[in-house]
């Protein structure tokens, strides 16, 4: 399901105030005037199959994080919204930040297929060493091969701090 371009939707703070009690500090929205009977005072929206909270407003679906951002900041986010703590339904305003697609991808958990326990670190049996790599500017950059796992992890984490800044996610 495609989400709308929020800035083009015409949704305003006044309309949000008509429909919801919004607490940006808690990242919560409760219905004041729900179109479905008996829902006033209840939490608005539901979780998507991907774990994001969404709410239907005037026939259109919105990610709750974007609505909370708009309500708290006074403007729609111009790019994606990243959840600092990786909890997709934690829409507290201090857990949200604007991010490019790449920045958002830097702040991801380790994939379930990862066997080393650290992003960008893997064992190279042919060299009998740990390899460290990092993705930056659309390219994978080698950080070298290391005798110890700890050294490879340290190299990867140091490079992540430089390349990804506040979006770096250590192992």
Q: Mean pLDDT in each 10-residue stretch from start to end of the chain (171 residues)?
A: 56 93 95 83 92 94 96 93 93 95 84 87 95 89 95 94 84 62
Q: Tell me what pLDDT residue 2 has.
A: 47
Report the candidate in 84, 163, 149 with the shortest Cα–Cα distance to residue 117.
Answer: 149
Report the candidate in 55, 56, 74 with the shortest Cα–Cα distance to residue 13.
Answer: 74
Q: Does pTM surpass 0.85?
A: no
Q: Tell me what pLDDT residue 31 has.
A: 94
Q: Tell me what pLDDT residue 17 has.
A: 94
In the chain, the domains with their CATH numbers are 6-99 (3.90.75.20), 109-167 (3.30.730.10)
Q: Tell me what pLDDT residue 71 has.
A: 95
Provide the 8-state DSSP code for 112.
T
Provide the 8-state DSSP code for 43.
B
Q: Tell me what pLDDT residue 1 has.
A: 44
* Residue 129 burial by Cβ neighbours in a 10 Å radius (0-12, 13-18, 19+): middle
Q: How far is CA 71 from CA 53, 85, 102, 134, 148, in A?
A: 16, 21, 25, 36, 49
Question: What is the C-alpha separation between 35 and 42, in angstroms, rounded?
Answer: 12
Q: Which residues pair with 21 in a beta bridge?
A: 30
Question: What is the C-alpha separation between 35 and 57, in angstroms, rounded?
Answer: 9
Question: What is the C-alpha separation between 5 and 132, in angstroms, rounded?
Answer: 39
Report the candidate in 119, 77, 70 with the shortest Cα–Cα distance to residue 100.
Answer: 77
Q: Tell me what pLDDT residue 103 has.
A: 85
């Amino acid at each position: 399901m495609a989400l709308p371009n929020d800035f083009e939707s015409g949704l305003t703070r006044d309309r949000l105030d008509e429909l919801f009690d919004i607490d940006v500090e808690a990242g919560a929205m409760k219905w004041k005037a729900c179109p479905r009977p008996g829902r006033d005072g209840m939490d608005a929206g539901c979780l998507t199959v991907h774990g994001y909270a969404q709410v239907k407003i005037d026939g259109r679906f919105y990610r709750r994080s974007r609505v909370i951002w708009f309500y708290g900041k006074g403007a729609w986010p111009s790019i994606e919204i990243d959840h600092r703590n990786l909890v997709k339904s934690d829409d507290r305003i201090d857990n949200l930040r604007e991010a490019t697609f790449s920045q958002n991808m830097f702040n991801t958990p380790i994939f379930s297929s990862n066997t080393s326990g650290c992003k960008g670190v893997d064992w190279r049996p042919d060299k009998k060493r740990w390899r460290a790599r990092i993705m930056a500017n659309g390219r994978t950059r080698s950080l070298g091969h290391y005798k110890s796992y700890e050294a490879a992890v340290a190299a990867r984490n140091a490079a992540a701090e430089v390349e990804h800044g506040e979006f770096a996610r250590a192992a």
